[in-house]
Chain A
């Protein structure tokens, strides 16, 4: 979330799409209800099903699963056509005015410029800004029907434009790997045909209400109602009101998931809703600490704090840091904080935390202790490679991979080929018991040679430590009781395994033992590392006496760091995660704070827990003010420029360089080298295009109405093992299926809890009443759902909450199924949940940017059993 749970109460308008917060985040959803009750805020819900969120919405649109980019692109088009955009914000806080290189092509045919069909990848060199200076006013539109110029005198007065083109003199030869130009050409009138705004306008002019109806199945009049309502907060460009967009895995779990989210972010930038109380783009994370797991790099492609994992070409630390540390790229007349320029400090401090005294200047701070990667090792690759025999061992600490899928059967078959599997769980799970899955005969079991260790871990109440919620709040939890029986704390189990491995390498040697032997492990009880000690290590400390005059901070060696501004790249500080630097300082554990004061009434709660980065609660909050540093809406003042003190102050921690005067025109999006929000993503950041384009899901009942010749996302790859089959409508897979969670259950966990099982005892399939009538299916009768992968049997829930839809002139039905049942649970043995891991049906195919599988919107057949 750019904002936070409580902040939703500050909104005037909610678009809830790709998420179902009433069901999946009920206690956070209270703040959406609060906005309705206290501000008369409106709620628009767009979902394939009429959900419990829809039940309290002001407007509901039933969308075809996976058609989200068409809907959001239609909203962008509507906002532009109806002048419901935030002009000053757009020109000054986004890259709308930046001019794109000649040679960039929009995807009228489904492909951007630079596509290589052989490798299914893009050469992205044309996805870049043009080098140059101020082009404002140089392009004179001669054609009738042009929009009036957006640049106005007021803005020009605030932002004096330098006449001297500082960068014009330099004529650097194009370097081999393309990079952003340091001096970007721009047109503040937004008239230049290759400025981002004009390209954006052109790109989404194709997403007409008629096209939206053809793709999404939402009737044009309903779409227009939703578009009018949502964009009404920016009627005539008035900036007082704010809209928020709320989503969850209904957006991420597609073969174009990241681009859906980008479309939402672009819409919010266009309407000036990012950085503001009650606004933002808000991902509702579905689990207690997957935000923390991402921050802490539980995933293959990053190191803690979103540092990139080194690649083999990084021959030393310097080469690596040169590659990943961005240089500012902006119009010469503007400023860019470019916060990632501090990358070397973050990285060296991380290496010091990892390897302590073994990380020295002389050995590049043990840079080569870290593995180097040059391919995708993500979730589905683990299973795919295990299925193909190259992954021989798997540790699963609280992760039920068989159930999580996709393609549960493939994962079961993959585990059969592994040598060893180590599962740490609190309940018996399907992954450790994969060899007992339904359909495996006694003879089959004898052929399965995997050794499986099932280790009893500790439940949440038995462990302390930090969770990070969706709003980026770090909160410490306390131990209520010891683990039962012979269970051990998870951190103890991991430590004991690691120390045993270290002992083996000490005694026997082996391949490259150095990092194993030298990883710092200075915990008081090495086999029982205290999480308080680990949390302090994550925050980091000074390793020598250091001081910073500007910050007025001086620290003795060994003292906890007060924040990431104190990090050094010379080895005098350590911090395992720069983003969390400030969470456990000399003042104590900030994430344990319980202050309940909220003087601004905006729900900021500065003294409750601790929020990354730097305890600020709404990200990019500089954008909540106009160019002069005054809040767009004084009734929701987050931060502002204090002329007397010559600094940014406020109710929240300013997400900005604190002393940057408004006249300096520093961009509010300080993590981008441009300093501004990206409507257009240059170069390599996205695999599949600088603008989002609508593509059909990999399994789709229709050809893409925009470009039938390029129906799917062109860079998405299909997997090729015998297990990987993809269905088509021609083969009879003509019903769209989607998967989801219920309020009453939590993934594959609460099927062990009698209370939750009482609420919803059995799996089911939600079927539109009209389809059920046609097929003679009555509620409660068993149905079989078959995809190209496998089948699934459960009872039918015949409902009026899913309607048939007309998509591109074809009548289509969608069905849905909750994911909560497997073959081990309270109902085990009763035959009620035997053939019901929903992910038996889902395909192995992933989003090319985030590598998240396409769990939503695949094709199935439906039959009565």
Chain B
């Protein structure tokens, strides 16, 4: 390594000495490509959350997972091993870094009260208590055990659950388990529309 480095200097300096006197600087001779921003980042394999091609992505975070670091995403690029996308990404996948590290994220639970024109902060415990109370009250008031013909129906028609397109299988199963167990029949998803 050093050999080439010295060779580089020697050839360079010979030509440079003369003109440095006149204000030119020798630094350009050392001009190099800048260093690689992901050279020491941590790589995590994930799946793009947008369309159903499900491209493999590599999420680059600063830090080596040491205890004192909260990871910060600095770059996302395609996973070259992934058989479908083979490292490529579309303009949405290519901008995922901006989706993860985004100043518009909601960071705390909020509530909008009846008649109010603004959001109020609410603690998680309070929010979950209130939501559970609403659900029970509404379910108990409208639950049907049998229909007009006397057939068992065990259903609650007054509450709906709508799931999104990025909910995982595991989340969706928990939704089925909890909602169906409450008798909720209005279970719908982005998959419908």
For B109, give its contact among A455, A508, A529 (CB under 8 Å): A455
Which B residues from 74 to 97 make CB contacts under 8 A with A? 78, 81-86, 88-96
| Assembly CA distance A312 to B138 (angstroms) | 22
Q: Which chain A positions have C-beta within 8 A of B132? A: 497, 500-501, 503-504
Whether A451 touches B111, Cβ cut-off 8 Å, given contacts A312-B153, A354-B180, is: yes
A488 to B170, Cβ gap below 8 A? no
A750 on interface, CB distance cutoff 8 Å: yes
Q: Which chain B positions have C-beta within 8 A of A288? A: 47-52, 54, 165-166
A-contact 0/1 string along B96-109, CB 8 Å cutoff? 10111010111111
Q: Which of A173-181, A457-465, A551-559, A659-667 contacts B (4 or more CB under 8 A)?
A: A457-465
Q: Which chain B positions have C-beta within 8 A of A377? A: 157, 185-188
Chain A CB count within 10 A is highest, among B73, B109, B113, B167, for: B167
Chain B proximity of A19: nearest CB distance (Å): 11
Chain B residue, CB-CB nearest to A23 = B90
Chain B residue, CB-CB nearest to A479 = B44
| Assembly CA distance A516 to B102 (angstroms) | 38
A501 to B81, Cβ gap below 8 A? no
A456 on interface, CB distance cutoff 8 Å: yes
B-contact 0/1 string along A603-640, CB 8 Å cutoff? 10100100000000000000000000000000000000
Q: Which chain A positions have C-beta within 8 A of B55? A: 27
B17 on interface, CB distance cutoff 8 Å: no
Which A residues from 591 to 613 make CB contacts under 8 A with B? 594, 596, 598, 603, 605, 608
A512 to B145, Cβ gap below 8 A? yes
For B186, give its contact among A300, A468, A501, A515 (CB under 8 Å): A300
B23 on interface, CB distance cutoff 8 Å: no
B90 to A27, Cβ gap below 8 A? yes
A455 to B127, Cβ gap below 8 A? yes
Chain B residue, CB-CB nearest to A435 = B112
Whether A453 touches B111, Cβ cut-off 8 Å, given contacts A5-B84, A494-B171, A756-B95, is: yes
Q: Which 9 A-B pairs have the closest CB atoms?
A: A398-B164, A485-B107, A465-B168, A287-B165, A298-B189, A469-B54, A371-B155, A460-B49, A500-B132
B13 on interface, CB distance cutoff 8 Å: no
A478 to B158, Cβ gap below 8 A? no
B2 on interface, CB distance cutoff 8 Å: no
For B117, give its contact among A401, A442, A515 (CB under 8 Å): A442
B119 on interface, CB distance cutoff 8 Å: yes
Q: Which of A117-125, A530-538, A668-676, A683-691 contacts B (4 or more CB under 8 A)?
A: A530-538
A297 to B178, Cβ gap below 8 A? no
Chain B proximity of A444: nearest CB distance (Å): 10
B-contact 0/1 string along A476-489, CB 8 Å cutoff? 01111110111110
B59 to A534, Cβ gap below 8 A? no
| Assembly CA distance A520 to B180 (angstroms) | 13
A515 to B182, Cβ gap below 8 A? yes
A289 on interface, CB distance cutoff 8 Å: yes
> Can you offer 6 A-B residue contacts whose CB atoms are under 8 A?
A28-B51, A312-B147, A453-B110, A481-B100, A515-B180, A826-B104
Chain A CB count within 10 A is highest, among B61, B122, B151, for: B151
A793 on interface, CB distance cutoff 8 Å: no
Q: Which chain A positions have C-beta within 8 A of B133? A: 504
Q: Which chain A positions have C-beta within 8 A of B90? A: 26-27, 743
Which A residues from 489 to 510 make CB contacts under 8 A with B? 490-491, 493-498, 500-501, 503-505, 508, 510
For B159, give its contact among A395, A598, A851 (CB under 8 Å): A395
B29 on interface, CB distance cutoff 8 Å: no
Chain A residue, CB-CB nearest to B133 = A504
| Assembly CA distance A282 to B173 (angstroms) | 26
Chain B residue, CB-CB nearest to A533 = B170
For A299, give its contact among B109, B113, B151, B187 (CB under 8 Å): B187
| Assembly CA distance A309 to B184 (angstroms) | 12
| Assembly CA distance A384 to B142 (angstroms) | 18
B92 to A756, Cβ gap below 8 A? yes
B160 to A313, Cβ gap below 8 A? no
A746 on interface, CB distance cutoff 8 Å: yes
Number of interchain pairs (Cβ within 8 Å): 474
| Assembly CA distance A405 to B164 (angstroms) | 14
A395 to B54, Cβ gap below 8 A? no
A776 on interface, CB distance cutoff 8 Å: no
B170 to A287, Cβ gap below 8 A? no
A291 to B52, Cβ gap below 8 A? yes
A446 on interface, CB distance cutoff 8 Å: yes
B49 to A448, Cβ gap below 8 A? no
For A371, give its contact among B48, B113, B167, B180 (CB under 8 Å): B180
For A473, give its contact among B54, B59, B117, B127 (CB under 8 Å): B54
Chain B CB count within 10 A is highest, among A373, A474, A480, for: A480
Number of B residues contacting the other chain (C-beta, 8 Å)?
116
Whether A456 touches B170, Cβ cut-off 8 Å, given contacts A396-B162, A497-B135, is: no
A500 to B128, Cβ gap below 8 A? yes
Which A residues from 371 to 417 make CB contacts under 8 A with B? 371-374, 377-379, 381-382, 385-386, 390-401, 404-405
| Assembly CA distance A27 to B78 (angstroms) | 10
Which A residues from 416 to 469 make CB contacts under 8 A with B? 419-420, 422, 425-428, 432, 435, 442, 445-456, 459-469
Which A residues from 275 to 314 make CB contacts under 8 A with B? 284-300, 303-304, 309, 312-313
B16 on interface, CB distance cutoff 8 Å: no
Q: Which chain A positions have C-beta within 8 A of B46? A: 460-461, 477-478, 480
| Assembly CA distance A425 to B100 (angstroms) | 13
B26 on interface, CB distance cutoff 8 Å: no
A370 on interface, CB distance cutoff 8 Å: yes
Chain B proximity of A134: nearest CB distance (Å): 43
| Assembly CA distance A760 to B55 (angstroms) | 23
B193 to A404, Cβ gap below 8 A? yes
Chain B CB count within 10 A is highest, among A297, A378, A850, for: A297
Chain B residue, CB-CB nearest to A511 = B143
For A5, give its contact among B53, B91, B108, B170 (CB under 8 Å): B53
A-contact 0/1 string along B4-46, CB 8 Å cutoff? 0000000000000000000000000000000000000000111
A30 on interface, CB distance cutoff 8 Å: yes
Chain A proximity of B144: nearest CB distance (Å): 9
| Assembly CA distance A309 to B71 (angstroms) | 44
For B152, give its contact among A315, A404, A608 (CB under 8 Å): A315
B189 to A290, Cβ gap below 8 A? yes
Chain B proximity of A138: nearest CB distance (Å): 47
Chain B proximity of A454: nearest CB distance (Å): 5
Q: Which chain A positions have C-beta within 8 A of B167? A: 289, 293, 298, 397-398, 490
| Assembly CA distance A743 to B84 (angstroms) | 18
Whether A290 touches B151, Cβ cut-off 8 Å, given contacts A297-B176, A535-B169, is: no
| Assembly CA distance A500 to B163 (angstroms) | 20
Given A468-B169, A496-B128, A596-B81, output 15 extra A-B contacts at Cβ < 8 Å: A288-B50, A298-B163, A371-B185, A401-B162, A427-B106, A451-B114, A455-B109, A467-B169, A477-B47, A480-B71, A486-B108, A494-B174, A605-B83, A743-B90, A759-B91
| Assembly CA distance A598 to B90 (angstroms) | 25
A397 to B175, Cβ gap below 8 A? yes
B-contact 0/1 string along A733-762, CB 8 Å cutoff? 000000000011111011011111001000
Q: Which chain B positions have C-beta within 8 A of A73? A: none
Q: Which chain B positions have C-beta within 8 A of A405? A: 193
Chain A residue, CB-CB nearest to B149 = A312
| Assembly CA distance A756 to B161 (angstroms) | 30
Chain B proximity of A297: nearest CB distance (Å): 6
B92 to A754, Cβ gap below 8 A? no
Chain B proximity of A437: nearest CB distance (Å): 13
Q: Which chain B positions have C-beta within 8 A of A837? A: none
B176 to A303, Cβ gap below 8 A? yes
Q: Which chain B positions have C-beta within 8 A of A382? A: 160, 162, 186, 188
B170 to A392, Cβ gap below 8 A? no
| Assembly CA distance A378 to B88 (angstroms) | 37
Q: Which chain A positions have C-beta within 8 A of B54? A: 288, 467-470, 473, 475
Chain B proximity of A391: nearest CB distance (Å): 5
Chain A proximity of B125: nearest CB distance (Å): 9
